[in-house]
Amino acid sequence: MNIRIQDLATATPAHAYEQVPFVRDFMKAHVPGDRMTQAILHKIYGASGIATRHSCLPDFQDGSAGGPFFDRETGQVLRPGTGARNDLYTTHARELYVRVARELVERNGGPGAVTHLVTVSCTGFYAPGPDYDIVNACGLRPDVRRYHIGFMGCYALFPALNLAKTICEAEPGANVLVVSVELCTLHLNFTNDTDAMLSASVFADGAAGAWVSAAEPTRAGTYRMGAFRTLLTGAGAADMAWSIGDHGFDMVLTTYVPDILHQHMPTLIPPRLLESGLGMEDVRHWAVHPGGRAILDKVSQGLGLAEDALDAPRRVLSRFGNMSSATIGFVLDEVRRGGEPGPVCAMAFGPGLTVETAVLQLDA
């Protein structure tokens, strides 16, 4: 029985910000600090590998009336509390969840076909939650079985897809709808802590979804789902972490993370491929979570990949930034667009430091 990612859908909020010069110069104008802080910001943004990021916040756009993060009259940045940020999450996440879910449902048999629903997020909370919103807005059956995976970080779409695979193995007639929404920019803070400045330079907003079933494919570009593995590096637990603060979620992404991944890639990835009967040379596509440009560089170096092996993740990083768990959905969608059939090694990273991997087969 072949369990497949039959379809993928992605979405972003309406507001797009140019990384350089707009976001770079805005941060330089509003992050407190001396000339050294300005130089660090200039370097971080110039070397990010990001051209554009999307946000649910219109506050900083030219011509906007401002908002809870920016007072247009005084030109001052603001620090809304966590409750106010989560209220914004509830409003904007609901729209993205429903948009992605509706697109997948309409393309894959209609609302009556969905048997299971898995929602994913680590950037906000509300109940009744996004599962409730999707069921009602998309007209799903009231007895659809629902699950939520929360606060696991950038790798969370992997356990969600693995759950969908497990469901389909147990119930061959199942159709599992998976939707991730992350609104990272709601947790923006204007601080001169180096790690916080680094985090603020890469995180963005976006949504991704997948339709998973054991049915025979009806379109090109499906992924047969192989082995999923969770791997703890044993290092860097404090270097990639999220906690809930009084002014949003405090995101930690230190400059040590790329080096930790570089060190562990040679011992973590080849054995996982061998378990699936593959060597490094057999992998046609590397669907790597683009947590940042340095992360992609160090993963590539650690695995000895060809210069163009991570072109798809780099394109996603450039166009969208790091959208936490939703990002790997964008990467998988990018890989399948014109990608040659063959084995795919997908991976993402998150708190722990955790490395999640999946071996997939892209079919024509």
Catalytic annotation, residues: 154
Nearest of 238, 254, 261, 225 to residue 345 by alpha carbon: 225
Nearest of 210, 203, 222 to residue 290 by alpha carbon: 203
Strand, coil or helix: what is 71?
strand
**Nearest-angstrom CA–CA distance, 82 and 133:** 22
- Distance between alpha carbon 92 and the CA centroid of its chain, in Å? 16
**Whole-Å CA distances, 203 to 83, 154, 325:** 20, 10, 11
Residues 158 and 164: beta-carbon distance below 8 Å? no
- 109-136 exposure pattern, b = at least 16 Cβ within 10 A, e = fewer: bebebbbbbbbbbbbbebeebbbbbbbe
Q: In degrees rounded to 5, what are phi and psi of residue 230? A: -110, 130
**Nearest-angstrom CA–CA distance, 169 and 183:** 32
Burial of 234 (0-12, 13-18, 19+ CB in 10 A): exposed
Residues 133 and 111: beta-carbon distance below 8 Å? no
Strand, coil or helix: what is 281?
helix
Structure tokens of 51? 């051209």
